[in-house]
Chain A
Amino acid sequence: MNAPDRKAALQGMGDSRLRKEDARFIQGKGNYVDDIKLPGMLHMDIVRSPLAHARIKKINKEKALAIPGVIAVLTADDLKPLKLHWMPTLAGDVAAVLADEKVHFQMQEVAVVIAEDRYIAADGVEAVEVEYEELPVVIDPFKALEKDAPVLREDLAGKTEGAHGKRYHHNHIFTWDAGDKEATDAAFKNAPVTVSEKLLYPRVHPCPLETCGTVASFDPIRGELTTYITSQAPHIVRTVVSMLSGIPESKVRIVSPDIGGGFGNKVGIYPGYVCAIVSSIVLGRPVKWIEDRIENLSSTAFARDYHMTGELAATAEGKILGLRAHVIADHGAFDACADPTKFPAGLFHICSGSYDIPAAHCTVEGVYTNKAPGGVAYRCSFRVTEAVYLIERMVDVLAQKLNMDKAEIRKKNFIRKEQFPYTSAFGFEYDSGDYDTALDKVLNAVDYKGLRAEQAAKRADPNCPTLMGIGLVTFTEVVGAGPSKICDILGVGMFDSCEIRVHPTGSAIARMGTITQGQGHQTTYAQIIATELGIPSEVIQVEEGDTSTAPYGLGTYGSRSTPVAGAAIAMAARKIHAKAKKLAAHLLEVGENDLEWEIDRFKVKGNAEKFKTMTEIAWAAYNKPPAGMEPGLEAVHYYDPPNFTFPFGAYLCVVDIDKGTGETKIRRFYALDDCGTRINPMIIEGQIHGGLTEGFAVAMGQLLSFDAQGNIQGNSLMDYFLPTSVETPHWETDFTVTPSPHHPIGAKGVAESPHVGSIPTFTSAMVDAFAHLGVTHLEMPHTAFKIWKELKAHGLTH
């Protein structure tokens, strides 16, 4: 076979090869947590609070326990002796496992029922009687900070220091800031132009199609705990479970099997998991807990709820001089956010975006309210969704103030290609970028000038039945958490890992510390190894998720798999490659310097007939290693990234708003992404489609709201907007390639970019449709109802 054919046969990096994992999914043989059945398995269901804030006066288990098949009913009192009625959160707070004397949010877990089957468990839940005494409810985070606001966290009474510094109010969690306040204040003081806008990023929820669940199985004879769990971070779960239960980590096995979508909803440790594990330990039988959809939307990690104020200072020509951002962050009743420990507001300080802004400062204040805990989730890259929303909206607001075109103002402020690596005013060192090329490519592809001309014509026509809007976003995001000196989860550095073993007959198995939830790791990881080692990806088995076999890793979220684990894979492969070279030299009886690598073999320089393929080398590794060399052909690498990576993109959206109903048609959405080296273009495109669709749903219809009594609204699929194939627009995707200079294969990670970038693009388009009427911002979600109200306010309806 000639070289190009050999390369194609590898189906390595750059190849849009079909996925290796599909076979089981298309035949209904996936292995999701609810598919797991163990002998003697019991089922657990949860009694939840109907009230948002109340004292628990009494819990009556009798009727439930009288139902045949109900084995046990547990409350906080039953967990107290084990000191498990509260648990530490990933954000340095504590959260109730089962409500201890009071409930803090509607749908909070109050008791669990364990029964022989899930039908009886449900009957048991209905039969548990709980008496409550209502307390005043706080839903508004601003009201929560008022002097005489009700006290939510009685358990924190008197604690004036939280995990992130001083607490100045009983409902205050932390104040965090970044940047240079003095320099920023000075920039604003002296600036010819300033703009300010309030920007709410409403509460939404990742809503993966598979809800959360677990099968916990404690073997009392071996003293070993095995837990199958919907987790994006199984090793962290193992460490935490060991710490909470006292069982040595070596006797705890956590398995994340096939996971039906994560999107950040499956990072945290939920009370349901803890109760199932405790029940299994106490009862000595496996216990399964699978939540239903309403439970998922009401009690698991929500996303956003950031009340932001953005400000820009600029010259009259539109050059940005300073950025200021202030955020009230509504975290719900407990701060359970999965952020790297030192960052209670995640990576929000990426909010200077793609722009060369000399002075910037941001402040985030976390607040408790009577809502479910969370905030960091939903493809947000640790609050990057909020940050990008803020800066992209503010750039539009500034453009509007100065009557400048939105593309023009961006080009004026872009960090130039020559400035990379670029240190932002917030201290991020952006690895690489070429924003001008990306934007120009998009503007040309859609005929931007033509679109603006069409819009002008439509605005001039009073009989036009629609308002046309053009949205534009040029985002930079920060992913791949992260360097362990600044990024840790509960003290564990955010490195990741890979172990590769090549078998005697030339195929290989590899395991990593991440866990796919649909991103295609079994294929893309194999492709990296295929290119590095010259073994076809088809025969490279990739396994993740079983903590008993996979090397320690921090899991998959924040688009960190390719930047961190992908790097570990390359580095581990290169260790094998180096050993293989020594073996090849030995077999060919030449020096290492006489060899060159070509696709799948080491060749002797100048003598193409003399070569050894990786397959031949593998065999030799197991029976003919040279003196002083260990047999075998394997390596492990733990990769501590030197930096984050900074994927970027340019998105453009055209909308047509029906003046009669307020409905919006997405006429066109053009998404150009730069994620550096592209491992599998087909998989990248699929991820982009998915992220754009989620972004569309968030911007145009998703919302979890609360009434004054703290009743959650819209928490079922009857109302929570998940678009079908009919509503979902057609997506046009494009790309540029600007590799990351610090990454072994130059790859940056991509899957959150379309979510992060598309949401402000939709808002940009909607506002653009009304901009000629003086509208500078419209709050999400841009439902027909809200848009019609706006139309009415401008006299555009009948």
Chain B
Amino acid sequence: MSKKIISMNVNGKKVEEAVESRTLLVHFLREKMNLTGAHIGCETSHCGACTVDIDGESVKSCTCFAVQCEGSEVITVEGLAQGGVLHAVQEGFYKEHGLQCGFCTPGMLTRAYRFLHDNPNPTEEEIRVGMSGNLCRCTGYQNIVKAVQYAANKLREDAKNPVAA
């Protein structure tokens, strides 16, 4: 089993590691990068708990090999907060009780992050469709919808009143 050296940017930092061709991105992140936020809830690409952001798109990291991400920009839940300040989606999930056991939460957050980036002013229906690639067993989604709405409002407000860096 010969290994390949791959390099990519993970949460803004360049990383370089040796991997097997068959190493799944989710295992690369969890075991090599020690970023255990992305979780594994199934092996048939349904649950979305492993969702990360690759080159500006939400992707299920269990269904992609690390070698496919050569040169890519990967963002995981650990990269959402900036300078110790939570991202609006993280604040939204906290304020609106959008999590219970927390297992689906990292996938939900990285997905919501990209979803709101692409659709900053969504209707409830659009949120439900936009988040339909992420399963949750605890919340029944109702508060997750509210969490995403909270984040959408906050992001729009922040855009109007940017805080000085």
Contacts and interface: CB of A to CB of B under 8 A. Distances in A.
Touch A–B, Cβ below 8 Å: yes
Interface string A705-722: 000000000001110001
Contacts of A690: 100, 137-140
Contacts of A23: 94
Contacts of A22: 93-94, 99, 102
A263 B97 contact: no
A221 interface: no
A784 to B, nearest CB: 18
A691 B100 CA distance: 12
Given A34-B40, A518-B102, A27 B78 contact: yes
Contacts of B149: none
B107 to A, nearest CB: 9
Contacts of B139: 686, 689-690, 693
Secondary structure of the B contact surface, majority rule: loop
Contacts of A683: 97
Interface string B126-155: 011101111111111111110000000000
B54 interface: no
B49 interface: yes
Nearest to A716: B44
A651 to B, nearest CB: 14
B103 interface: yes
Nearest to A120: B1
A519 B100 contact: yes
Contacts of A386: none
Contacts of B145: 725
Contacts of A119: 20, 22-23
B132 A726 contact: yes
Given A208-B137, A261-B138, A690-B138, A517 B101 contact: yes
Contacts of B129: 725-726
Nearest to B136: A209
A27 B90 contact: yes
A692 B44 CA distance: 25
A211 interface: yes
B101 A210 contact: yes
A728 B140 contact: yes
Most buried by A among B36, B93, B94, B144: B36
Contacts of B103: 30, 32, 208-210, 260-261
B37 A209 contact: no
Interface in B19-47: 20, 22-23, 27, 30-31, 34-44, 46-47
B145 to A, nearest CB: 7
B109 A26 contact: yes
Most buried by B among A208, A210, A691: A210
Interface in B59-105: 76-78, 80-81, 86, 90, 93-95, 97, 99-105
Contacts of B134: 724-725
B97 A18 contact: yes
Contacts, number: 178
Contact of A689 (B27, B39, B140): B140
Secondary structure of the A contact surface, majority rule: loop
A349 to B, nearest CB: 29
Contacts of A691: 140
A263 B137 contact: yes
Most buried by A among B43, B105, B128, B141: B141
Given A209-B41, A718-B44, A724-B135, A686 B143 contact: yes
Nearest to B49: A209
Contact of A717 (B46, B94, B100, B106): B46
Nearest to A295: B43
A730 interface: yes
Contacts of A290: 40
B102 A30 contact: yes
Contacts of B49: 209
Contacts of A210: 39, 41, 101, 103
B138 A717 contact: no
Interface string A666-704: 000000000000000011011101111110000000000
A210 B102 CA distance: 10
Contact of B104 (A209, A259, A517): A209
Nearest to B94: A22
Nearest to B106: A28
A24 B106 CA distance: 10
A686 B101 contact: no
B90 A261 contact: no
Contacts of B105: 25-26, 30
A725 B133 CA distance: 9
Given A18-B94, A209-B49, A261-B101, A293 B44 contact: yes
A231 B16 CA distance: 37
B100 A518 contact: yes
Q: Which 3 residue pairs of A and B lie closest in terms of their CB atoms, listed nearest first?
A: A28-B37, A260-B103, A518-B101
Interface of A: 18-19, 21-30, 32, 34-35, 37, 118-119, 207-211, 258-261, 263, 290, 292-294, 517-520, 682-683, 685-687, 689-694, 716-718, 722, 724-726, 728, 730-731
18 contacts: A25-B105, A25-B106, A26-B102, A27-B77, A28-B37, A29-B78, A30-B36, A209-B49, A209-B135, A258-B102, A263-B137, A293-B47, A686-B97, A693-B139, A722-B137, A725-B128, A725-B144, A726-B128
Given A208-B103, A717-B135, A725-B132, 9 more contacts: A27-B77, A28-B78, A30-B37, A118-B27, A209-B47, A209-B138, A260-B101, A725-B134, A725-B144
